[in-house]
Structure 1
Amino acid sequence: MSKTFSVFKNPLYTKLFLANFTSQMGSVISIAAFMFYLLDRFGDNPAYASAAELMYSLPVLAVFFLVGVMADRMDRRKIAENCDWLCFGLTLGLIGALKIGVMPLIFLMLFLISGVQKFFAPAQSGIIQGVLSKEDYTAAAGLNQMVSSIFMLVGNGLGIYLYWKIGIYGAITANAVSFAVSALLIRSCRIPDQVRMPNGNHSIKDLDFKLVVNDFKLGMKYILNDKLLLSLLSGFCIFGIVNGGFSVMPIFIMKYKLAPNHYEEYSVILGIVFGSGVLLGSLIASAVASKIKLINGLIGGLFFSGFFVVLSSFAVNPFWFFTALFGTSLALPFCNIAIGGWMPAIVDPKMMGRVQGWITPLMMLAQSLMLAIISFTFPSVLSIEGLYWIVGGALILVSFIYYYLLPKYTDEVHWKAAEEKAV
């Protein structure tokens, strides 16, 4: 475990970690508060809550062909910093839209904020890959998973608490401040030019249509020529379905089945249970990462998390639902740490942005489709149990896909790189 935290000896990584933590925490608080604002104001129409989640995922379909190319061709530090500043301004615009009370304008601001945020991850991933050694990739993936568990543990509850105490405007203002702090942290980083601009110095004028299309095709060819990478990406569409479902399902099952009169209070407990499970699972997965093969952790984590998701649909009271949910959250970190530690080890640093540029749209397309299906079919066609069966079944399906494909396309070079990184 001490090895996991040793990456903080790298001051550049520490600043980037804090910038990402600050920005994400603000967003988690804001999203949670906004979800309960919509459920409070439009409780008879759950489609608004699903539509709001859709505005967070749909924008990637408008910018997916640009995000990876820009991360590989332009200054990654400037991209990450400017994303934060733009989100800061747009979040203030969201407050204005809420004051006016026009729903289409509110959804437009959510769409724009999410669209800008999509440029952040590929740029930051490329920077982190460049400032860490291969031996530190799994440790960084473990830390990212722990941070995600902390968000799950306190983010939802903190968002609800702020919504109760200072209202929706206060919660969104906290998000705006978090973007500003993140931008200032990134600005303070002194990152080597070869990490910021691995393919040379380019300006926005250089990114003409032909270059963007060629680079996007190059990323596709790179993935298709690497069977292991292609095998990993084959499951990301189903991950999108899972993310889309989980963004609304836990709140829906509380409000519309298990605790309709106390869903807000139980949602706080839900976040604590799920976050605790992910945090414990992250600690266990990080501790055993050097003792088990990454592929075993990935496949086992997917299968057992899917099993517990299906099991949770049969819960008749919050206690049994939380018990099954804890099992799901305990298994998920094994998947995330395996993928998070594996990807940087097998992707050329000069291609990381373009590879990320393909991963995100695959996931977000599936996530958007899932949210759209939920918006139009729940509860008139799909029951809450049906949603859990779809998501749990998707996780189990991916485990079988990976069980079949990954060993088939894994060669000695890839295994050696992945295993040396995990030791």
Structure 2
Amino acid sequence: MSIREAHSGQEGPDFRTFIAIWLGQAVSMVGSRVSRLALGIWLFQRTGAVTDFAMVALCDALPVLLLLPFTGVVADRYDRRRVMLWADSAAALCTLGMAGLLWSGQFQSWHLYLAVVAGASASALQSPAWNAAISQLVPPERLSRAVGLVQVSEGMTDILAPTLAGGLLAVGGMMAALVFDFTTFLIGMGLLLLPRFPAVPRAREAEERPGPVWREAMRGWEYVAARRGLVGLLALASLVTMILCAMEVLVPPMLLAHASPTVMGMVMSVAGVGALCGSVVMSTWGGPRRKMDGVLGAGALMGLALMGAGLGGSVVVMAVAGWVAMFCMPVVWSCSHAVWQLQIPAELQGRAFGLRRMVGEATAVAVFFGAGPLVDRVLEPLLAPGGALAGSAGGVFGVTRSQGVGLLLFMLGLLLLTVMVVVRARPGLYRIEDEVLRDNPTHATGVGG
């Protein structure tokens, strides 16, 4: 059963209910990010080792990557509000345990790694349930606005969390950050307790004979893999994720090669404001009627901005290009998210969104491992004086340090622009919204795959 069918046959909560839950989740997200940042800073201040700081990030990423296929099954089998409450409760108890160890003077570095793994595991349980619940709480025509609001909260978290983490550590140490995190969990859980979610329509045979967890986890993948449009949309999302992660890794070194850390921070802040502005626009506008126009149009503009960033050597050009690229990002995500929700049956959305995030996490890991060596060992030597590209591309990008980053950004922007233009010119993926209801028995019964 599609989302349109699910809403047409039942009375669901109005948009105000979604707003209340979104507000609680936004507050809780800020608290979680603050404590995670504070933990990494706390450890780095004591060891001074970048490897230890990186280990915190690894402990935060790997559980999500490994657990998402199975937590998506949980989100589809059980009431999603309860799943979110389970995840928030587990994370809150973990925070409370860390505070107890810290208060008793027994907190050690290995406790920190364990706590980060536990918190990431709770996030892996909460994320697919929350993403799938959005379509239960709002009608299809308001999905883009709802996703835009979720991205507003993510943008505000990116802006607020670093400042709050540093301030709380300065004022009250690690304990202050943990208390703040626990308080935000209570707020989020309190707002989540108020409403009830509409029931998810399920296939009768699936309720009577649930299969093994591993088999249920595969159903989300099977449903997506059997539909070329969804596979194509997932590939587009992976491409955008790859480029965003590349920007995260490449832009700071490129800026630091020509400017001070203060200037670099200002340029990054400008880009963050662009992302927030794009999220606000999507939360109020909702995007174009045909959501794929939003995906492809904003994606093409993002590609042009990246090409400008690769060519431009000035800080002003980088700031403008960063603002434009990050403004486009919420438009791409919101429109893509809305199409995804309209295409996936309600009873499979937990698994489908788990799959989508898992692919995104795997893409991010690959970029983080590969982007640096590609620039340092391949592109920089090619553009260095006497290098193979010094006389050709070097005339455009220069032969000074960090120009390999500029070349890679330009290539990524050109790739993104080309892909968006090609997809628009071909009817298949662009017309995915015309295929919400298909003539096959799986939609008749509400079972995918």
Q: Shared topology, TM-score over 0.5?
A: yes
Letter of the structure 2 residue corresponding to residue 326 of structure 1: W
Correspondence 1:350 to 2:351: no
Preserved contact between residue 71 and residue 354 of structure 1 (Cα < 8 Å): yes
1:253-301: CA deviation from partner (whole Å, max 9, x where unpaired): 67787435x58xx64x456423321232234455665556422321232
| Equivalent residue for 2:24, pick from 8, 19, 23 | 19
Distance, in Å, in 2 between the alignment partners of 1:315 and 1:29 is 34
Cα separation, partners in 2 of 1:417 and 1:136, compared to 1, 3 Å? farther
Preserved contact between residue 281 and residue 333 of structure 1 (Cα < 8 Å): yes
Cα separation, partners in 2 of 1:364 and 1:294, compared to 1, 3 Å? same
Cα separation, partners in 2 of 1:153 and 1:106, compared to 1, 3 Å? closer
Distance, in Å, in 1 between the alignment partners of 2:271 and 2:37 is 15
Deviation at 1:121, TM superposition (A): 1.7
Distance, in Å, in 1 between the alignment partners of 2:100 and 2:243 is 33
Correspondence 1:211 to 2:202: no
Preserved contact between residue 53 and residue 247 of structure 1 (Cα < 8 Å): no
Aligned pairs for 1:127-146 (under 5 A) are: 127-146=133-152
Cα separation, partners in 2 of 1:291 and 1:220, compared to 1, 3 Å? closer
Preserved contact between residue 238 and residue 394 of structure 1 (Cα < 8 Å): no
Deviation at 1:215, TM superposition (A): 1.6
Alignment match, 1:171: 177
Distance, in Å, in 2 between the alignment partners of 1:211 and 1:307 is 47
Deviation at 1:336, TM superposition (A): 1.6
Deviation at 1:332, TM superposition (A): 1.5
3-state secondary structure, aligned to 1:58? helix
Alignment match, 2:71: 67
Deviation at 1:143, TM superposition (A): 1.7
Preserved contact between residue 375 and residue 408 of structure 2 (Cα < 8 Å): no
Correspondence 1:305 to 2:302: yes
Which has the larger Rg? Answer: 2
Letter of the structure 2 residue corresponding to residue 22 of structure 1: V
Preserved contact between residue 296 and residue 420 of structure 2 (Cα < 8 Å): yes
Preserved contact between residue 151 and residue 275 of structure 1 (Cα < 8 Å): no
3-state secondary structure, aligned to 1:235? helix
Alignment match, 1:233: 234
Alignment match, 1:109: 115
Alignment match, 2:35: 30
Distance, in Å, in 2 between the alignment partners of 1:155 and 1:414 is 37
Deviation at 1:89, TM superposition (A): 1.8
Alignment match, 1:223: 224
Preserved contact between residue 50 and residue 374 of structure 1 (Cα < 8 Å): no
Give the number of aligned pairs. Answer: 401
Query: Could you tell which deviates more after superposition, 247-256 or 24-33?
Result: 247-256
Preserved contact between residue 305 and residue 328 of structure 1 (Cα < 8 Å): yes
Deviation at 1:176, TM superposition (A): 2.6
Query: Could you tell which deviates more after superposition, 27-36 or 343-352?
Result: 27-36
3-state secondary structure, aligned to 1:112? helix
| Equivalent residue for 1:334, pick from 331, 336, 361 | 331
3-state secondary structure, aligned to 1:67? helix
| Equivalent residue for 1:363, pick from 360, 364, 369 | 360
Letter of the structure 2 residue corresponding to residue 348 of structure 1: P
Task: Show structure 1 runs of 5+ residues with no match.
Answer: 1-6, 419-423
Alignment match, 2:154: 148
Cα separation, partners in 2 of 1:60 and 1:272, compared to 1, 3 Å? same
- For normalisation by structure 1, the TM-score amounts to 0.78
Q: CA RMSD in A?
A: 4.0
Alignment match, 1:276: 273
Deviation at 1:78, TM superposition (A): 1.2
Aligned pairs for 1:25-104 (under 5 A) are: 25-37=30-42, 40=45, 45-94=49-98, 102-104=108-110
Deviation at 1:247, TM superposition (A): 5.6
Deviation at 1:134, TM superposition (A): 1.0
Preserved contact between residue 12 and residue 191 of structure 1 (Cα < 8 Å): no
Letter of the structure 2 residue corresponding to residue 280 of structure 1: C
Query: Could you tell which deviates more after superposition, 112-121 or 387-396?
Result: 387-396
Distance, in Å, in 2 between the alignment partners of 1:408 and 1:68 is 31
Deviation at 1:101, TM superposition (A): 6.6
Preserved contact between residue 71 and residue 123 of structure 1 (Cα < 8 Å): yes
| Equivalent residue for 2:193, pick from 187, 190, 194 | 187
Deviation at 1:355, TM superposition (A): 0.9
Alignment match, 2:433: 414
Letter of the structure 1 residue corresponding to residue 296 of structure 2: I
Letter of the structure 2 residue corresponding to residue 414 of structure 1: E
Alignment match, 1:397: 415
Correspondence 1:162 to 2:173: no
3-state secondary structure, aligned to 2:197? coil
1:311-335: CA deviation from partner (whole Å, max 9, x where unpaired): 5567777655434322222221221
Distance, in Å, in 1 between the alignment partners of 2:44 and 2:322 is 22
1:35-71: CA deviation from partner (whole Å, max 9, x where unpaired): 554565566x444443322222211232122111111
Preserved contact between residue 8 and residue 14 of structure 1 (Cα < 8 Å): no
Distance, in Å, in 1 between the alignment partners of 2:136 and 2:284 is 24
Letter of the structure 1 residue corresponding to residue 136 of structure 2: G
3-state secondary structure, aligned to 1:18? helix
Letter of the structure 1 residue corresponding to residue 232 of structure 2: S
Distance, in Å, in 2 between the alignment partners of 1:322 and 1:168 is 34
Deviation at 1:162, TM superposition (A): 2.9
Deviation at 1:73, TM superposition (A): 0.9
3-state secondary structure, aligned to 1:234? helix
Distance, in Å, in 2 between the alignment partners of 1:165 and 1:306 is 43
Distance, in Å, in 2 between the alignment partners of 1:382 and 1:46 is 25
Distance, in Å, in 2 between the alignment partners of 1:274 and 1:138 is 22
Identity of matched residues, %:
18
Distance, in Å, in 2 between the alignment partners of 1:248 and 1:161 is 26
3-state secondary structure, aligned to 1:138? helix
Cα separation, partners in 2 of 1:150 and 1:282, compared to 1, 3 Å? same
Aligned pairs for 1:234-273 (under 5 A) are: 234-242=235-243, 244-245=245-246, 258-260=259-261, 267=265, 269=266, 272-273=269-270
Cα separation, partners in 2 of 1:290 and 1:313, compared to 1, 3 Å? closer
3-state secondary structure, aligned to 2:212? helix
